Amino acid sequence: MRISDCGFNEILNKALVTGDLSREEIVFLLSLEDEADVKRLLETADAVRQACVGDDVYIRGLIEFSNMCARNCSYCGIRADNPDVHRYRMPIDEIIETAEHVVSKGIGTIVLQSGEDPWFTADRMREIIRGIKARADCAITLSIGERTYDEYKAMKEAGADRFLLRHETAVRSLYEKLHPDCSFDERQRCLNDLKSLGYQVGAGCMVGLPWQTVEDMAEDIVFVRDLNADMVGIGPFIPHPGTPLGDHPAGTLAQTLKMVALARIATRNGLLPATTAVGSIDPFGREKALKAGANVVMPNYTPLKYRVDYEIYPDKKCINEDPEQCHGCMQARILSTGRTIGTGPGHSLKHLR
């Protein structure tokens, strides 16, 4: 698409003021190559972030409590068919104690993440959610994959506040290629159920997936805007040698930052993490994402003895640092970008409904 300089200014102005960009305009921005042009896009996203959510960066404490997974996503290192993974499940008491410890450090949200592990039934999840809520004043985010409406409902009633379920890609044919044993419609059903149950919902996608085009990425931006997602997690695809996609190239930092910027422009006041994946492909990837629209970080509080086995992609950031180290490091990284640290639970700003 040819767009004149004057057209570029107009598009950036629209991005700044309303974010109401057409697919064509999103594709145009995602295709920018010139360094000065890209810089203007990222700065526009930073300005939208400043105006819509301010300078606070929220810290979420991530606990990866089980790496058992029934699914076979073709990019993911902990997929069921990878025999080289040493599998673990944290005992329920230890999950609750770990969460209590994280909250004692001043962190207002616990993110409970796992593979799709049927052992953690809705009843067991309720026990964990209630146990944490009884001991600690915090919000709870679940990231445990696809469940039935009734299971989501039971966990919401037990006190879960938010749910992360990345849509992975908004393009049906690409989704089906990457998840031969799963259904695109079922994923959408889950996201809709979570919304209707009153969860603050996090969608999100990977950037630079095999076969993914710029047009496909524009669909992801339109998708999170239409869903009115409260949170949007965006990270580069990183090939894992133990998976069918192990030989494909990784997504780039440049393309990931453009996607974070467009997610900010499109969602306005969304909660956007500077993901571990973007920190894993560049030593300052998270800081760069914070300057391109992100306003959340999720340091890893999984006890070290388990953490090494939660390898969804290789060279994952912070795999060997102990949680205390990550805590200080993350705060220093936020402050280095000139931002402030958010206090309290950091609920969705869209959720004041």
**Binding stretches for ligand FES (CB under 6 A):** 299, 318, 321, 325-326, 329-330
- Helix, strand or coil, per DSSP, at residue 110: strand
Q: Which is nearer to ligand FES, 97 or 321 (CB)?
A: 321
Q: Contact 71/181 with Cβ under 8 angstroms?
A: yes
Token pair of 16, please? 């700044």
List the single partner that 321 binds among ligand FES, ligand 5AD, none, CB under 5 to 8 Å by kind. Answer: ligand FES
What is the smallest separation between the CB atom of 168 and ligand 5AD, expressed in angstroms?
6
Using CB under 6 A as the binding rule, whether residue 277 contacts ligand 5AD is answered as yes
DSSP string, 143-212: E-----HHHHHHHHHTT--EEE---B-S-HHHHHHH-TTS-HHHHHHHHHHHHHTT-EEEEEEEES-TT-
What is the smallest separation between the CB atom of 239 and ligand 5AD, expressed in angstroms?
6
Q: Which secondary structure element, helix H or strand E, spans residue 287, and what is its range? A: helix 285-290
Using CB under 6 A as the binding rule, whether residue 168 contacts ligand 5AD is answered as yes
List the single partner that 299 binds among ligand 5AD, ligand FES, none, CB under 5 to 8 Å by kind. Answer: ligand FES
Looking up tokens 């360094």 gives 35
List the single partner that 168 binds among ligand FES, ligand 5AD, none, CB under 5 to 8 Å by kind. Answer: ligand 5AD
In angstroms, the Cα distances linking 138 to 106, 269, 336 are 10, 21, 26
Binding mask 232-251 for ligand 5AD (x = CB under 6 A): ---x-xx-x-----------
What is the smallest separation between the CB atom of 318 and ligand 5AD, expressed in angstroms?
15
Among 133, 147, 156, 166, binds ligand 5AD (CB under 6 A): 166
Q: Which is nearer to ligand FES, 51 or 304 (CB)?
A: 304
Q: Which is nearer to ligand FES, 73 or 298 (CB)?
A: 298
Burial of 315 (0-12, 13-18, 19+ CB in 10 A): exposed
